[in-house]
């Protein structure tokens, strides 16, 4: 069985610096769960206040566009908020 690899990068809406350690941990847990549901593997997760990196392995039966769509749809607007601002994912970039 073969596997495909991609390095996904996501950014916050308007590149606002709103991620904290807690929101990045929440994003990692949420995205790991979604990858698991799609038979993909999230190797590592790291980020900064306005973006995150996700090196993933996914099966050839899963289109990269579907993976990105599910990750973005499952995480956008679901981050814990301190009442001041809700984080929304704006974009993903894919490098293979």
CA 56, chain centre distance (Å): 10
pTM (two decimals): 0.76
Q: How confident is the model at residue 89 (pLDDT cuts 50, 70, 90)?
A: low
Helices within the chain (DSSP H only)? 21-37, 64-75
Tens-place pLDDT, residues 47-77: 998 888 999 999 999 999 999 888 887 776 5
Q: How far apart are CA 81 and CA 26, in angstroms?
A: 11
Q: What is 26-42 written as a DSSP string?
A: HHHHHHHHHHHHTT-EE
Fold of 4-80: Alpha-Beta Plaits (3.30.70)
Tens-place pLDDT, residues 5-47: 999 888 877 788 888 888 888 888 889 999 999 999 999 999 9
Q: How far apart are CA 89 and CA 96, in angstroms?
A: 21
Backbone phi, then psi, for 29, in 5-degree steps?
A: -60, -40
Q: How far apart are CA 28 and CA 2, in angstroms?
A: 25
């Amino acid at each position: 069985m073969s596997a495909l690899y991609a390095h996904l990068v996501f950014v916050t809406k308007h590149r606002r610096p709103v991620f904290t350690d807690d929101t990045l941990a929440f994003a990692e847990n949420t995205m790991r769960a979604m990858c698991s549901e799609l038979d993909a593997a999230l190797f590592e997760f790291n980020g900064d206040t306005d973006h995150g990196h996700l090196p993933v392995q996914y099966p050839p039966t899963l289109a990269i566009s579907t993976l990105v769509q599910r990750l973005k749809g499952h995480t956008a607007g679901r981050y814990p908020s301190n009442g001041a601002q809700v984080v929304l994912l704006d974009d993903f970039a894919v490098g293979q």
